[in-house]
Chains A and B, each alone.
Chain A
Amino acid sequence: GAGVSQSPSNKVTEKGKDVELRCDPISGHTALYWYRQSLGQGLEFLIYFQGNSAPDKSGLPSDRFSAERTGGSVSTLTIQRTQQEDSAVYLCASSPRLAGTPRDTQYFGPGTRLTVL
């Protein structure tokens, strides 16, 4: 079946602009996660959504970052007033199980490479 998809695959933007990154999870997966992969920082958790519950935003690095998930499916990560340090690969993952249970397995999309000039 189809895996997690993300768009765009690459995004180049100018400092100060806003960007939106999209994630389409695997159909039927209840949990959706955003991570950031940058040089020197490894993989960092940003935010996750579980069903209709309020999202866990504890990993968002600043209030310029926000995310929403519409209809329990597609998610959009928005970065406002981008900075050069936002340059990274943004990864989305989905999981078929309830987040917070130790046995869930996350399936990752190919990522969006963001470059802020």
Chain B
Amino acid sequence: GDSVTQMEGPVTLSEEAFLTINCTYTATGYPSLFWYVQYPGEGLQLLLKATKADDKGSNKGFEATYRKETTSFHLEKGSVQVSDSAVYFCALRGNTPLVFGKGTRLSVIA
């Protein structure tokens, strides 16, 4: 069945550092890919999405490119802020409801 694998955390970075959170997937067909973020004490929020190969999703300085050849959707940000501290979930949507990765906790220190 469909599955998502993302790098295990926690990830701790200094403010203004470069962020990469790896995500790879297994799916039949052509799924849509998502990154969701969960800030402390809050619910899941959609961060960005891409619906077909080579699409780039972007929001709040975060980017991820749908790479069909490597079945990946890595999340990147050039300069993280303390306010980016949260748990990030990679997810896919094919013919079934969302399938999530286990989440990566990011802590950004000033």
Contacts and interface: CB of A to CB of B under 8 A. Distances in A.
Interface of A: 4, 33, 35, 42-43, 45, 48, 56, 59, 91, 93, 99-100, 102-111
A103 B43 contact: no
B101 A45 contact: no
A110 B97 contact: no
B98 A106 contact: yes
A102 B101 contact: no
Contacts of B88: none
A44 to B, nearest CB: 8
A111 B43 CA distance: 6
A108 B101 contact: no
A102 B49 CA distance: 11
Interface residues of B, number: 26
Contact of B97 (A42, A99, A107): A99
B93 A104 contact: yes
B45 interface: yes
Contact of A102 (B44, B51, B99, B100): B51
B17 interface: no
Contacts of B45: 108
A43 B43 contact: no
A111 B46 CA distance: 15
Nearest to B31: A102
Contacts of B30: 102
Contacts of B43: 4, 91, 108-111
Contacts of A93: 44, 98
A29 to B, nearest CB: 14
Contacts of A42: 100-103
A110 B49 contact: no
